[in-house]
Amino acid sequence: MHTSPSSVQTELYQVDCSGFDAEAASLFLTAGANPYTDAEEFLFDCEMRADEMPRTIRRALLEFQVHSNSEGILLLRGLPVDPDLATVRTPANAHRSPDKHTHVSERSLAMIGSRLGHLVSYIQEKKGDLFQNLVPVPGNEQVQSSGGSKTRLQFHRETVFHPYAPEYLLLVCLRSDHDHIAETTHASISHALPLLSEDHRSLLFQPLYRTGIDYSFGNVQTVKGNGPVLPVLYGNPTDPFLNYDEDLMVATTAEAEDALDALKQAIASVYRGVKLVPGDLLCIDNRRTVHGRSSFTPRYDGFDRWLQRSFVVRDLGRSAIDRHPGERVIRTRF
Ligand SMILES: [Fe+2]
């Protein structure tokens, strides 16, 4: 189909927030409720603050929420950071940092997340914290989870096996790795789909794929294929959504396996990476784009790579049956 130049729109993947004036910066920097002891008040306050963010950032988030983009990511760069960040030590073992006394990173996640949907957590992940520290964990260097480091984290949709998987995944960077080599990798189905044959596409649209329960949800033996059977692709045939986990998903027939291999190769050839730095907040459209991480070498010296993560759903009601009323923690058992 011919596309006239006037109908081609420039897609927005990145928003520069470094030029915030004092008023905009103070929305992020001014102290408020404690996100860990008074979570609901913190979230409401953040949502109200987000209403006052500069119009350009609200517009970018609105477009991303409604139409996404072909990359399935939106990177906000240059956001305000916690004032003492340079001296706050990276927490060990993904526990909350005992020396982080300000909550700018948490506020950034909650404010940006509120424009996309509602923050939720999962009881199996970091005890249901809404703001989760992603740090390299000693002994887990080779593990396929956020605590790993020296091995590439393979491409996955976040919690692909879960009936209430988040529509968005938010990552805020508090500290890069020592060598500045760790990349957050991402690959969208929009870019991978044109590399797949019609036959492979049609197989991927059928429920021929058994996924696995994540290591962090209790599958510590890393058994593959112990989760539900799903189609890999669903939704619009020309602009589909994607269920995919490179590590844990297995095909149920030989033909289906060929198609899954083709998708794996397509993802490997279209993926991109971003080296997150402090002040970066990456929004990932979890229905269109799979993500992972390159390998890096931790030092366990208190200044290792440190991200915080939040999950966002568009409709809280879907998971109501598995949440306590008024709470954000999803308690589905596996
Ligand atoms: Fe992930």
Reduced to 3 states (helix: H, G, I; strand: E, B; else coil), residue 9 is coil
- Distance (Å) from CA 171 to ligand 1 centroid: 10
- Distance (Å) from CA 8 to ligand 1 centroid: 32
Q: What is the pLDDT of residue 10?
A: 63
- Distance (Å) from CA 12 to ligand 1 centroid: 23
Residue 292 CB neighbours (<10 A) = 20
- Distance (Å) from CA 258 to ligand 1 centroid: 25
- Distance (Å) from CA 154 to ligand 1 centroid: 9
- Distance (Å) from CA 1 to ligand 1 centroid: 36
Q: What is the pLDDT of residue 85?
A: 93
DSSP labels for 161-203? T-TT--SEEEEEEEE--TTS---EEEEEHHHHGGGS-HHHHHH
- Identify which of 158, 156, 178, 177 has the alpha carbon closest to the alpha carbon of residue 167: 158
- Distance (Å) from CA 149 to ligand 1 centroid: 13
- Distance (Å) from CA 9 to ligand 1 centroid: 30
Distance between CA atoms of 91 and 165, rounded to whole angstroms?
Answer: 27
- Distance (Å) from CA 139 to ligand 1 centroid: 19
Domain boundaries, the chain: 11-187+275-330
Could you say which residues of the chain have pLDDT below 50?
A: 1-8
- Distance (Å) from CA 257 to ligand 1 centroid: 23
Using an 8 Å Cβ cutoff, are 229 and 206 in contact?
no
- Distance (Å) from CA 107 to ligand 1 centroid: 21
Q: What is the pLDDT of residue 118?
A: 98
- Distance (Å) from CA 160 to ligand 1 centroid: 10
Using an 8 Å Cβ cutoff, are 79 and 26 in contact?
no
Q: Which helix (H) or strand (E) segment is 267 a member of? A: helix 254-270
Q: What is the pLDDT of residue 225?
A: 66
Distance between CA atoms of 269 and 184, rounded to whole angstroms?
Answer: 16
- Identify which of 131, 85, 107 has the alpha carbon closest to the alpha carbon of residue 28: 107
- Distance (Å) from CA 163 to ligand 1 centroid: 16
- Distance (Å) from CA 208 to ligand 1 centroid: 23
Which residues, including other chains, have CB under 8 Å from residue 48's CB and lie 6 or more apart? none
Distance between CA atoms of 286 and 272, rounded to whole angstroms?
Answer: 15
Give the CB-side neighbour count of residue 136, counting CA atoms within 13 A. Answer: 27
Q: What is the pLDDT of residue 165?
A: 95
- Distance (Å) from CA 81 to ligand 1 centroid: 23
Q: What is the pLDDT of residue 323?
A: 96
Q: What is the pLDDT of residue 1?
A: 37
- Distance (Å) from CA 159 to ligand 1 centroid: 8
- Angle of helix 22-29 relative to helix 104-116, nearest 10 degrees? 100
Distance between CA atoms of 57 and 75, rounded to whole angstroms?
Answer: 11
- Identify which of 333, 327, 306, 323 has the alpha carbon closest to the alpha carbon of residue 134: 306
Distance between CA atoms of 113 and 77, rounded to whole angstroms?
Answer: 15
- Distance (Å) from CA 6 to ligand 1 centroid: 37
Reduced to 3 states (helix: H, G, I; strand: E, B; else coil), residue 289 is strand
Q: What is the pLDDT of residue 2?
A: 39
- For domain 11-187+275-330, say whether CATH 3.40.50.2300 is its number: no
Distance between CA atoms of 191 and 239, rounded to whole angstroms?
Answer: 10
DSSP labels for 88-117? SPPPSTTPPPTT----HHHHHHHHHHHHHS
**4-12: long-range pairs with CB below 8 Å, 24+:** 11/69, 11/70, 11/71, 12/60, 12/63, 12/64, 12/69, 12/74
Q: What is the pLDDT of residues 126-144, one digit of tens each?
A: 889 999 999 999 999 999 8
- Distance (Å) from CA 260 to ligand 1 centroid: 20
